[in-house]
Every structure is written in structure tokens, then in C-alpha cells.
Structure 1
Amino acid sequence: MTEGDEVAVLGVRVRLGAGATMDDVRALKTWLERDEPLEDLVSRRHLRIDAKPGTDGPPGRLGPDLDLVLEILGDVVTVAALTEYTARAVKTWTNNRRRLQGGDPEPQIRPLDSDGE
């Protein structure tokens, strides 16, 4: 690879729907950081979880315009495995939130494009 070559960003993006709040985004981020096996990947610095501005939401979208981006930092996990881990953790978090607060934040999980979007 030469200078100026772009490196593909691998990972997944989690977007909460219109019924979500900023507290939901923060709570889900904390949940993901503490969920096995994501916690292990984060602690060994093989995964970074950041809240980033949403880039492809519909105009006039209600709710927070932040997505959680789980970016793979090493060759220790595949995007498919990360998507599976994330989907399982998000489903558990959503079920707990629904039971405690009601409503459904309608999470969407998708792999990042090669440019990290």
C-alpha cells in the first residue's frame, strides 16, 4: 500500500428510529461496551464504538441524528461475526428497554460501506 491509498473501514452502524432519545443512544452505547463478546474486543482495542452523526437519515427525521458505529480495529473478527454479536446485543437491549419504558426504538443494523459510512 502506498501513501494516499485509502483503507476500507470495516464495522457496523446501529441507527435508532424516531422513537429513540439521546438517552437511548447513550444507554445502548454503554450496553454494547459491556456486552460479551463486544466488551472483550473493546478492552483489547480491537473494536471502537462511537456515536457519530447520521448521514443517510430521511429529511425531517425525528429523534437523535446520531448512529453508533462499531469499527473493527484489527483482524480478530469478521464483519459478519460483529454484525451477529451486535444484533444479539441490540435485541436484548431493545427487549429490556421495551419492558422497562415501553415503546420501540426500532433499531437498524447494517455493515459499514467501504468508506466507513
Structure 2
Amino acid sequence: MAEGDGVADQGIRVRLSGSADESDIDALKSWLEREQPLEALVREGKLVIQVRSDTAGAGERGSPMGLGMEIFLAFVGGASGELLRRVTGTVERAFHAWQENRRDVESGDPPDGRVDAVTPDER
């Protein structure tokens, strides 16, 4: 789905530190796509997981991925506050699990990052 093709503005933004590279972006996106609750929402057409330019975070201290990209999980048709909180928690846990896995399978520390819920006003 191309940016802007019916994707809601409400979602969850995942930004990795400047030490992240393209393989980290791809690996984390794949990890999130396989996370059971997220996979179910994607299959039901309620959630889209995409990599996009991080124009909002450009220039923020310690924020965007080194490539100027972020992973954005967009709710299609919106989400209740409870669903947003629950999915944000799932993404945070999945992100930390991905970091631990990367630490085990690759040399060096995994990139740090942030997981933030985003409402239409913040996008």
C-alpha cells in the first residue's frame, strides 16, 4: 500500500537510533509482522506495517534511524484508545524481544529505539 492510500493517521511509530542500518530496519519490520497479535490485525485489514521517511523526526536529538526512516504501524479506520494502548504495549515488547534476539545472533549491540503512539495531531 502506498503512503496515503487509505491509511489512517493514528498509529505507532518505531524509530531506531542513528546506528541502525537497512538490515536492522528490514529485520525489525519482519519481526513485527510475525508478532501474533499484530499479524492478526494485519490479516484482518485493521493494521498496516510500513517503512517510511521520518521527516517528523529529522533533526531531533538521538531520534531517527540513520537512514532517515521509521517503521509506522497505521490503524486502518482508526482505533479506540484501549486498542492503541494494547498494541503499543505489544510493539514495545516485540521491539525489546527483537533487540535481545539481535544481540544473540549478531555481534555488537543492537540499536536503541523509541516506540510512540501517534494521534492525527502528532503525525
Same fold (TM over 0.5): yes
Give the shorter-chain TM-score range. 0.7 to 0.9
Of structures 1 and 2, the larger Rg is shown by: 1
Q: Which stretch of structure 1 is more off in the superposition, 95-104 or 27-36?
A: 95-104
- Kindly report the root-mean-square deviation, in angstroms, between the aligned alpha carbons of the 2 structures: 2.3
Q: Out of 96-105 and 73-82, give the one that drifted further.
A: 73-82
Partner-residue secondary structure (3-state), 1:114: coil
Structure 1 unaligned residues grouped into runs of 5+: 1-7
Secondary structure, counterpart of 1:78 in structure 2: helix
Partner Cα separation in structure 2 for residue 106 and residue 62 of structure 1? 10
* TM-score normalised by length of structure 2: 0.79
Residues 15 and 108, structure 1, Cα contact 8 Å, conserved in 2: yes
TM-score, reference length from structure 1: 0.82
Letter in 2 for 1:54: D
C-alpha contact 2:16 2:65 (8 A) present in aligned 1? no
* Residues 19, 63 of structure 1: 8 Å contact kept: yes
Aligned equivalent of 1:38:
38
Stretches of structure 2 that go unaligned for 5 or more consecutive residues are 1-7
Shift in Å, 1:21? 0.5
Q: 1:1-117 alignment to 2 at 5 Å?
A: 9-55=9-55, 56-58=57-59, 63-74=66-77, 75=79, 78-101=83-106, 102-115=108-121, 117=123
Identical-pair percentage: 33
Query: Any idea what SS the aligned residue of 2:36 has?
Result: coil
Count of residue pairs brought into register by the alignment: 110
The amino acid of 1:82's aligned partner reads V
Of the structure 1 ranges 97-106 and 29-38, higher mean CA displacement relative to structure 2 is found in 97-106
